[in-house]
């Protein structure tokens, strides 16, 4: 009789004991909070390192060679994102590389950040990012170094990891 009641109660709870279920949920919630806090703190450290910088180094994976290729680039920060503008737009090799392998390593101010980046192709959004570059670096400098304004790259702060160099 006791065993049958226990099995029925167990089945009503979806095959889990209350204690295990509650404890499991609490542990998962705690771990998600810890990981999210670490990622947020890491990006904040990276962001802080970039405050007085004009240039960072990016490393991408070559689409043909598979080798790591590094380039210095300008960037702009907005909220919890960085935006990059390829000098030759969609013809830039590093941009073509992220289309195949969207993982990018960024290094600036002694801090490193690894992110899954997203190409930006919407003309209105690209135009907005170009304006941010003109504001930060000066319209004359952007005109001098950049030849094509058809794409940009969005570097998010979430879902990424960081290492301190």
Domain range annotation of the chain:
49-164
State residue 9's pLDDT score: 62
Lowest mean pLDDT among 57-66, 73-82, 128-137: 73-82
State residue 38's pLDDT score: 44
84-107 average pLDDT score: 96
Pick the more confident residue, 109 or 134: 134
Model confidence at 151, pLDDT cuts 50, 70, 90, reads very high
21-39 average pLDDT score: 55
Q: What is 49-164's CATH number, 2.40.400.10, 2.30.110.10, 1.10.8.350, 3.40.50.360? A: 2.30.110.10
Question: What does the alpha-carbon distance between residue 99 and residue 33 come to, in Å, rounded to a whole number?
Answer: 32
Question: What does the alpha-carbon distance between residue 105 and residue 93 come to, in Å, rounded to a whole number?
Answer: 16
Assess contact for 153 and 34: CB atoms under 8 A.
no
Question: What does the alpha-carbon distance between residue 25 and residue 35 come to, in Å, rounded to a whole number?
Answer: 15
Res 79 pLDDT > 60: yes
Res 61 pLDDT > 90: yes
pLDDT mean across residues, the chain? 80
Q: How far is CA 39 from CA 7, 28, 31, 155, 161, in A?
A: 42, 16, 12, 14, 6
Model confidence at 163, pLDDT cuts 50, 70, 90, reads very low
């Amino acid at each position: 009789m006791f065993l049958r009641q226990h099995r029925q109660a167990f089945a009503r709870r979806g095959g889990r004991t209350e204690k295990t279920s509650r404890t499991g949920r609490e542990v998962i919630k705690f771990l998600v909070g810890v990981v999210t806090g670490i990622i947020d703190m890491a990006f904040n450290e990276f962001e802080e390192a970039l405050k007085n910088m004009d240039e960072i180094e990016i490393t991408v994976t070559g689409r043909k060679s598979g080798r790591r290729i590094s380039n210095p680039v300008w960037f702009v920060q907005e909220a919890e994102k960085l935006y990059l503008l390829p000098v030759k737009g969609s013809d830039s090799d590093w941009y073509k590389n992220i289309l195949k392998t969207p993982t990018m390593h960024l290094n600036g101010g002694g801090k490193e950040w690894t992110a899954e980046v997203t190409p930006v192709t919407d003309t209105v959004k690209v135009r907005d990012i170009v304006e941010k570059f003109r504001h930060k670096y000066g319209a004359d400098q952007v005109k001098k170094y950049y030849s094509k304004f058809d794409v940009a790259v969005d570097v998010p702060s979430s879902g990424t990891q960081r290492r301190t160099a």
